[in-house]
Amino acid sequence: MIGLEQVRNRLKILEARTAPLKAEIDQLALVAEPDAQQIARFNELAAGLQVMQGRYLECEAWIEMLEKYPGVSRPDQLPTKGNTPAYVPVTEKAPAEQVERNREASHQRDARELVELLPAAGAE
């Protein structure tokens, strides 16, 4: 199981790794007339930072989820009606007209997608 502390540590590591790259790219951005090597390095750093930004967002999503649903490790955290929302099953059926309308719309959408996939008649 992935723990909250592990993800937070990963986030710290990512921040530590990103800082020097950011400093370097900021320096390169200040160069008035960069040579080919500097441009290549700038592009490389920009791509790398983009990837790291994705990982950063991923870590934040993990932290959000783990904070929202903490593990049950103690008896006082056991689910009760108070702390856990009740699941209400959908028992009412949708009206027949709506079902028919939805089905028709679905068929039309499928047909349109199929038409788009097919090659145009006479097209070279």
Other CB atoms within a 10 A radius of the CB of residue 59 amount to 19
Q: How far is the CB of 68 from other proteins (least distance, A)?
A: 7
Q: Which is nearer to other proteins, 20 or 69 (CB)?
A: 69
> CA 102 to CA 94: how far, in whole Å?
11
Q: Which is nearer to other proteins, 50 or 73 (CB)?
A: 73
Q: How far is the CB of 89 from other proteins (least distance, A)?
A: 7
What contacts 1, CB < 8 A, 6 or more positions away? Answer: 71
> CA 14 to CA 36: how far, in whole Å?
29
The binding site for other proteins (CB under 8 A) comprises: 1-2, 58, 61-62, 64-66, 68-69, 71-82, 84-87, 89
Q: Which is nearer to other proteins, 43 or 77 (CB)?
A: 77
Q: How far is the CB of 28 from other proteins (least distance, A)?
A: 33
| DSSP reduced 3-state for 71 | coil
